[in-house]
Structure 1
Amino acid sequence: MHLPSTEPRFSLYYDYKIHQPWLASQHAPQDRKQVVIVGAGPSGLVTALELARLGVSCVVVTAELQVSQGSRALAFTRRSMEILQQVGIDERMTEAGLPWRFGNSYYRGKRVFRMEAPYDVNDRFYPLINVQQQYMEEFLHDACKANPLIDFRWGNKVVQVEQKEGYVELVVDTPEGTYSLETQWLVAADGGRSGIRAALGLEMEGTSYEGKFVIADIKIDLPLPTERMAFFAPEWNPGNTILMHREPHGIWRLDYQLPEGEDPDEALKPESIKARIDAQLAMIGYADKTWELDWCSVYSARTLTLPDYVHDNILFTGDAAHLLPIFGVRGANTGFQDGQSLAWHLAFVVKGLASRKLLENYSAERVTAAREIIEEAGKSTRFMTPPSRGFHLLRDAVLSLSLTQAFVRPLYHWRTSRPHEYTHSALNSMGDDNALFQAGPAHGAPPKNVRLGADNYLLDYLGGGFDLLYFTQNQTVPESIMTVVRQARAKGIPLNVVGIGPGLEIAGADKTINDASGAIRGCYGVNNHGAAYLLRPDQHICARWINLDAMRLQMALNTALPQ
């Protein structure tokens, strides 16, 4: 019998709520579900909300009765906020968070590198925003609770998984005992220690680094800006690295590397944590400041991924699919992209709009993304936590030279997480004009946002299906193109037409955007009338044309939805 804790987690700033467990005795007998999602973290909840937005019901089960403890995932990127806008929690995130765009690296008391993340007038969101994970999970849960297509079950722990012919059978344990649950598709979003991954005997590929970090949230008043600070090889922690971030509610996050061979349990003892945090505060000139510990943990850097995220009717996402180092804010931010991608691929298969080849594409794209991240993150990880004597010598040389030589300082760059571009996706149209464009987002790229006015941006008009951006000076979308659109809709394909023109209402378009200034045309490299972009439901570009005709639109849709 599964008995999750009913004691609220400790926190100096967050009020943990205990939710009531879902009990089978209080509900009708369970029929087979379309989708069951195991795990209520970032990737699982985004998957649920995006599935619901596309009309697919799901059950979300989590073993706990409350959201996660500690800040954990803290810094969220602009692209993550654009995804969270799609699921309806961006305003709450913005109200709760601290935006920022600068990162600083220090060595021997000198700032040797300052990173500035790009930000311009077309960006609705800052490059990064700090919000503790508890709040993000609370906002996502509230959105799930408000959606009738999402059945959220607290206190339900999956203890057995068995693949059947065309479906999956689960045994779920609760405070009153177990019950059976069948589902056509099972999404494993159960984190880095995935029980489903272990039950299937799946092995990840990649590298686990020896370096370990203590992560500690402390309540303290420091008159410092919301910027990332990295300290290399300080006197109190020679050869190692310390990171600092400001969090909302007067909390600061410290990540400090442990000396090689130190027992993590010893490192988490109160006297050890106090000595090291006091030393760090003294080093930056705030030894007189009092502080309280809110939460602490230990983590190690790992760059691992499953080679395939689809195993019959079980699909992996987030940390259950891959384990990435936090340097460059890659954990939850990658999980959001996983969830958004998985949801639309799975929804179109569930609704019979594409064959399961589409799920193979999900795996291919996201495994490629994970490997790209691993390659980049590995560089950052080897700099932050050198895995060998040779890497230590190289890192020490960079540190020393950076005091006087500007050319080595960019090596401190932490390679911030960015959305993967599906440049070689099988869903990209081969019969379009992608190669003829001189500017604008190309095949597989995420969309560029464009500011249209006060609190009015291009991405506000997109989402919920395929989007056809049609650029025209006329007052109508050609009938031949609208015929293809109507035929697609008749099959159940959500296809939204966004007309972009000089301001007049465009007949046939679901929405018309005034681009008399040419701002959108400029960002999308459009120089003539009749140009168009086709965006997938995750908003990545799958086709673009200098001149669109009906046949090429149909070809692009056929490619994006393999039968």
Structure 2
Amino acid sequence: MSVEFKPYPFEAKRYDARIPPLADGRETRRHAVTIVGGGPVGLAIALGLANHGIASVLIEADESVCYGSRAICISRRSLEIIERLGALDGFLTKGLPWTGGRSFYRNDEVLHFTMPQDDNQKLPPMVNLAQYHIEQFLLDAAEKRADLIDIRWRTKVTSVKTDADGATLTLSTPPGDYEAQTDWLVAADGGRSTIRDALGLKLTGTSYEGRYVIVDILLDSPRPTERLAYFDPASNPGSTVLVHKQPDDVWRIDYQLRDGEDADEAIKPENVMPRVQSLLDMMGETSPWSPVWITIYKANALTLERYRHGRVLFAGDAAHLVPIFGVRGANSGIDDADNLAWKLAFAIKGIGADSLLDSYSDERVFAAHENLSYGTKSTEFMAPPSFAFDLMRSAVLSLAVRHPGVRSLINPRQTSAISYTKSSLNAASDAFDGGPAPGAVLPECPLTIVERGDVRDGHLTDLAGPRFTALYFSENGDVPAGLDGLETHARTCGIPFELAAISRQRPSDPTRRTAWDPTGRVFEMYGAQPGALYLVRPDGHVLGRWLHATAAQAVVALDHALNA
């Protein structure tokens, strides 16, 4: 349920439905992949598949990108993924970066937190950007890949039949209905997933009773971009309030309803406006403001037990519902897309075994439980589910005013990259003194990249891409001839692959893509000495690492990952 006022300072393009060529009510062409859901997750999967040359059909029930702020915080990890998808520029140009936030108990500040940010980083830890912008920038990138991404607007799935070879969908559009067949079906159709219901699958976990009203307002304010949390504020006693600044002078306000408040009454403008005004008065905001959108939210910590069901794969909110506290919703969905796209593409091309997709489910179910664990802790602090939790929170907040040591308990636990430490894909590796272990994502570091005579400033993650990447640590940029067997094996098997050197010294005449470490940080950061090798997956997670690598070790690791 939601209430709309004047439109956002954003105009979405509207799209018409279209029907492809049919024979007896069925589309004449069978598709390799059909993605249901044109939100951030569905678009990210389509773009990820396109990076590997795999065509997909994307089914979307609406006629445009979404309305309302919905997801608003995009993490550094998601930005890294979005860069690989070719859509980063809009996120950085339009989004508002931030590094931390403050929490208040009544009139006192009880926490000032910052997220990891240093000179090594290429991207901010978080940007605020409304979901309609998120979808639009991904859509812009998808429309540039129209040869591989077929988007069908105003098209609803009304039934699904699955078999060992794929699925048959019945699709409804204003011009008429038709059937479509697909080898693989990806359900990215949100929390009320039609595909999940059609397969009779249920999310399990915890649904919280606490409800939040979400209000977007237009307000011109010079305040910095940061996460603001108010516990038991004078403007709304007994409640918790969250405030986020967004682009275009849009502000997102989430406030908790008290026990017994009627949800239908709570979102009526005559009840919302006074609470918002009281909050702004408390914050010292004196500029005129106007509401744009009002809706209501209930926290859920739910997941499917498996994200693969034969030829049907689930991602995003269709697979799991994560509380908004800690901003893990859209970010975990984008991580799903990054994990799924390369594995599905490799399975379709025959580069990897069909079982590679089981690792998608294993890794992302593990990630969901990690996210739900942190999200649950944040939710129970933000909206205590019982008298005991409420008593504990009140004690912590009261003590935090004068005892800094207690303030860590107020930690909002912002999202961070998940390490697949127990993944079946991880290779047997050597023990390093530091650096990312198998399953972890690559830590960032500035480097000077030398390629085909071109020298430019860059970062370590620029060396990775939608392929397997071997990072060889070298004294002067030279790579031993023995590692040529790794490149030969990858080329023979059709595996997208690149071997790049990371050099202590500036290389004189590199014969391959080479990165020079002018800061002297990267070797220590990775626990590496000359001769070390990191093998990295297409989604930026470490597959294996060796102190004195041989081609045979890396080949075994590649074959194991693709055929486990």
Which residue is equivalent to 1:180? 179
Which residue is equivalent to 1:229? 228
Q: Tell me whether 1:444 sits opposite 2:439 in the alignment.
A: yes
Mapped partners of 2:482, 2:179: distance in 1: 51
Which residue is equivalent to 1:305? 303
1:197 deviates by 0.5
Residues 213, 296 of structure 2: 8 Å contact kept: yes
Secondary structure at 2:294's aligned position in 1? strand
Residues 18, 175 of structure 2: 8 Å contact kept: no
Which residue is equivalent to 1:344? 342
Residues 242, 256 of structure 1: 8 Å contact kept: yes
CA offsets 1:256-303 (integer angstroms, 9 cap, x no match): 0011132222111110111110111122223x4321111121111111
Structure 2 counterpart of 1:19, from 8, 15, 36: 15
Mapped partners of 2:468, 2:348: distance in 1: 17
Secondary structure at 1:561's aligned position in 2? helix
Q: Tell me whether 1:537 sits opposite 2:533 in the alignment.
A: no
Which residue is equivalent to 2:452? none
Which residue is equivalent to 2:488? 486
Long gaps (5+) in structure 2: 449-455
Q: After TM superposition, where is structure 1 displaced by more than 6 Å over at least 4 residues in a row?
A: 505-508
Amino acid paired to 1:504: P
Residues 98, 124 of structure 2: 8 Å contact kept: yes
Residues 226, 245 of structure 1: 8 Å contact kept: yes
CA offsets 1:118-143 (integer angstroms, 9 cap, x no match): 11111111111111111111111111
Mapped partners of 1:253, 1:505: distance in 2: 53
Q: 1:507 to 1:123 in 2, by over 3 A?
A: closer
Secondary structure at 1:24's aligned position in 2? coil
Alignment TM-score, normalising by the size of structure 2 = 0.94
Residues 326-475 of structure 1 mapped to structure 2, 5 A cutoff: 326-430=324-428, 432-433=429-430, 436-452=431-447, 456-473=458-475
Mapped partners of 1:505, 1:139: distance in 2: 40
Secondary structure at 1:283's aligned position in 2? helix
Which residue is equivalent to 1:284? 283
Mapped partners of 1:539, 1:97: distance in 2: 23
Which residue is equivalent to 1:5? none
1:519 deviates by 3.0
CA offsets 1:167-214 (integer angstroms, 9 cap, x no match): 111111111111111111000000011011111111111100000001
Secondary structure at 2:488's aligned position in 1? helix
Kindly report the root-mean-square deviation, in angstroms, between the aligned alpha carbons of the 2 structures.
1.8
Secondary structure at 2:77's aligned position in 1? helix
1:517 deviates by 4.7
Mapped partners of 1:447, 1:10: distance in 2: 44
Amino acid paired to 2:406: V
Residues 532, 548 of structure 1: 8 Å contact kept: yes
Mapped partners of 2:458, 2:22: distance in 1: 46
Q: 1:184 to 1:506 in 2, by over 3 A?
A: farther
Structure 2 counterpart of 1:62, from 60, 63, 66: 60
Amino acid paired to 1:503: R
1:424 deviates by 0.8
CA offsets 1:382-410 (integer angstroms, 9 cap, x no match): 00000011111111111221222222111
Amino acid paired to 1:194: S
1:354 deviates by 1.8
Which residue is equivalent to 1:100? 98
Which residue is equivalent to 1:522? 524
Mapped partners of 2:236, 2:476: distance in 1: 67
Q: 1:127 to 1:474 in 2, by over 3 A?
A: closer
Q: 1:249 to 1:474 in 2, by over 3 A?
A: closer
Residues 54, 464 of structure 1: 8 Å contact kept: yes
Amino acid paired to 1:82: E
Mapped partners of 2:199, 2:94: distance in 1: 39
Mapped partners of 2:563, 2:148: distance in 1: 26
1:10 deviates by 5.4
Residues 476, 506 of structure 1: 8 Å contact kept: no
Residues 147-296 of structure 1 mapped to structure 2, 5 A cutoff: 147=145, 148-286=147-285, 288-296=286-294
Residues 83-162 of structure 1 mapped to structure 2, 5 A cutoff: 83-147=81-145, 148-162=147-161
Which residue is equivalent to 2:506? 503
Percent of residue pairs bearing the same amino acid type: 43
Residues 38, 189 of structure 1: 8 Å contact kept: yes
Residues 477, 501 of structure 2: 8 Å contact kept: no
1:508 deviates by 6.3
Q: Report the number of matched residues.
A: 550
Mapped partners of 1:474, 1:229: distance in 2: 48
